[in-house]
Amino acid sequence: MPYALSKGGWLGLAALFIISIICMYTVMLLRYCMDFNPLIQSYPDIGQLAFGNKGRFIMALLMHIELYFVAIGLLVIEGDNISRIFPGVEVHIFGVIFEGKKVFILLSSLFVLPTTWPSNFRVLSYLSMASFLVFLFLLALILWIGEFQGVGFNQKGVILNWSQMPATLSIFIFSFGGHPIMPTIYSSMKDQKKFSKVLIIGFTICTVQYGLIAVIGYLMFGEETKSIVTLNLPKSLLTSKIAIWTVVLIPLVKYSLIIMPINISLEDRFQITGWPMSILIRTSVVFSTAIIAATVPCFAFLVGFTGALISGMVTIIMPCLCYLKIFKSSLKGRVKTPVILCIIGIGALISILGTYVSIRNFRKGL
């Protein structure tokens, strides 16, 4: 979040709020699509209801690609942060040298592996709540470092940087991109009437916490803010080490929630019913994300590129298109139609410009 603000400037906060509203609205569109047919249980089901088998294939493909890249991103966070605590680590295996970041990504995948084995969303909801509590602790640590340990909040930043705003918007969309798992969560709820309330509370909390950490980090480090704010913290401070370890905990408790729809889809595809084969499938998915994460050179590029190219489609464009198709007979002459079309246009513009800017920044080494 601080990195995103450092790219787009202070007006990025307004963009954060707008993206939050749009993403919450598109989740509600998915919910309306599910209510249209009680047999709908997942994100791909909505695509099939709207556009047939082709729609199901496209929705499933986009959903799995996005979640897969999010899972990879979580492991990259692990590698970047732990290697900062233990710099210079190398492991030699059969004459091949593995640097610390790659080693720590592999070790992190081993830690998250057991959390991917349960299939109960109720269990995973506690892990999600734990990640929120961990974030509050992290926020307190960064505030402490800024206020009492010599860093300060003295950076002025810029009001607006138009050239980098698409990258900022891509990161914001990526950060609100939980849409593929929303239908599964909705269908799993004991009392589905509370979904709207849960949605409003959840998006409000996310927006506030994103805004807080963005403002604090940008005030502390300004234009020098790195893709993960803990990488800016002074290495010598004990509180910095605690903050970094705190960041390490967040992906560990979020990874399983992100990867579960992929595991369920693979098991359905190959008709896996037994426990041993299920464990094998889920273990293979985890290690495949670890291998790819070890080859990703830049976390900021991964987030920006995925947010623009994939999350823009999954989070904004496809929910709108599905809703328009399913409810086309009842939307004629209603104000909702031009609003949804406007949202589609915004999503398409962000996807195109965000992808271009992410690739350009990667080539320039930003």
Alpha carbon distance 239, 244 (integer Å):
9
Reply yes or no on whether the pLDDT at 146 is more than 70.
yes
pLDDT, position 277: 82
State residue 333's pLDDT score: 57
Asked whether the predicted pLDDT for residue 226 surpasses 60, the reply is yes
Backbone angles phi, psi at 17, to 5 degrees: -65, -45
Question: Which pair of tokens denotes residue 180?
Answer: 């593929």
> Is the confidence at residue 124, as pLDDT, over 80?
no
Per-residue model confidence as pLDDT tens digits over 96-115? 677 777 888 888 888 888 87
Rg, Å, the chain Cα set: 21
| pLDDT of 356 above 90 | no
Q: Which residue has the tokens 């915004």?
A: 346
What are the C-alpha distances in Å from 85 to residues 109, 220, 309, 319? 18, 21, 33, 41
**Integer CA distances (angstroms), 292 to 68, 250, 265, 288, 317, in order:** 10, 20, 20, 6, 27
Domain boundaries, the chain: 2-364
Q: What is the dihedral of CA 202, 30, 175, 339, to 10 degrees?
A: -100
The half-sphere exposure of 43 on its side-chain side, counting CA atoms within 13 A, is 29
Confidence band of 87 (pLDDT split at 50, 70, 90): confident
Task: Specify the pLDDT at position 266.
Answer: 84
The confidence band for 122, taking pLDDT boundaries of 50, 70 and 90, is low
Confidence of residue 119 (pLDDT cuts 50, 70, 90): low
Q: Is the pLDDT of residue 123 over 70?
A: no
Q: Which residue has the higher pLDDT, 41 or 121?
A: 41
Give the pLDDT of residue 68. 86
pLDDT in tens, 178-225: 788 788 788 888 888 899 998 999 899 989 999 999 999 999 998 888
Q: Which CATH architecture group holds 2-364?
A: Up-down Bundle (1.20)
**pTM, two decimal places:** 0.81
What would the mean pLDDT of 58-70 be, rounded to a whole number? 85
Three-state DSSP class for residue 96:
strand
